[in-house]
A = this chain, B = another copy of it.
């Protein structure tokens, strides 16, 4: 089996940046299988990318090498790093991209990439994706030793991520963290905080949705619902319609989740490790 290299960027499909990275990887590791995850992350949006990676990397096989280049700090002092994450590898900037993945997969080790052997000879100060991250990933794909990439990193940069906060007895304030293509509003409230779905509720603005549902068709067409989404967080949806447009929901909006059906979410909120799966 050839080594698997996945790519996640904010480069879009129209500029030559992704293609240049692919050429660099295949020039070093011709047998690598390159898999596009997304190149449509919003430009410079580390939080969106972190959520994307947390929803995708756990599904990939042993040994996969995940390159993620959402890198607004390119050319500054931010570090270029590689990490062992779960049973695969991450290669990219040290800017918080792994913060949410690390709740689901073990972040076992991180190295700065400073060994010139795994870089292109000339390094553009504005495109480390092509000149550092792509070649480093390709060298890993060929069997280059992770420990030889560079010195160890003790404390990766952490993303400032909004965890739900307790605001009352059996009530937490969360946030909408993503609107997907279908108009589903994904919140930051882990779905496994809900022990008794029928006895929980989710509210926002003037709306209160009683009960956490399992699928869109649990309510009549055109009706809103709260449900446990496929990425592991509570979502606000409308059966057969675009919830965000219809309900005026935006990323960053506050929501409240509450009721007797919550597990000891207070404990979970205070101890993030309780939310791991």
Contact = CB atoms under 8 A, between A and B. Distances in A.
Copies of this chain present in the complex amount to 3
A60 B29 CA distance: 11
Contact of A230 (B130, B214, B218): B130
Interface in A21-58: 22-24, 26-27, 30-31, 33-44, 51-52, 55-58
B61 A26 contact: yes
A23 B60 contact: yes
Interface size class of A (residues with CB under 8 A): 35 or more
A55 B20 contact: yes
A31 B127 contact: no
A75 B181 contact: no
A1 interface: yes
B231 A26 contact: no
Interface string A229-245: 11100000000100000
A212 B241 CA distance: 41
A85 B69 CA distance: 30
A143 interface: no
Nearest to A33: B33
Interface of A: 1, 4, 6, 8, 10-20, 22-24, 26-27, 30-31, 33-44, 51-52, 55-61, 64, 72-76, 124-127, 130, 178, 180-182, 214-218, 227, 229-231, 240
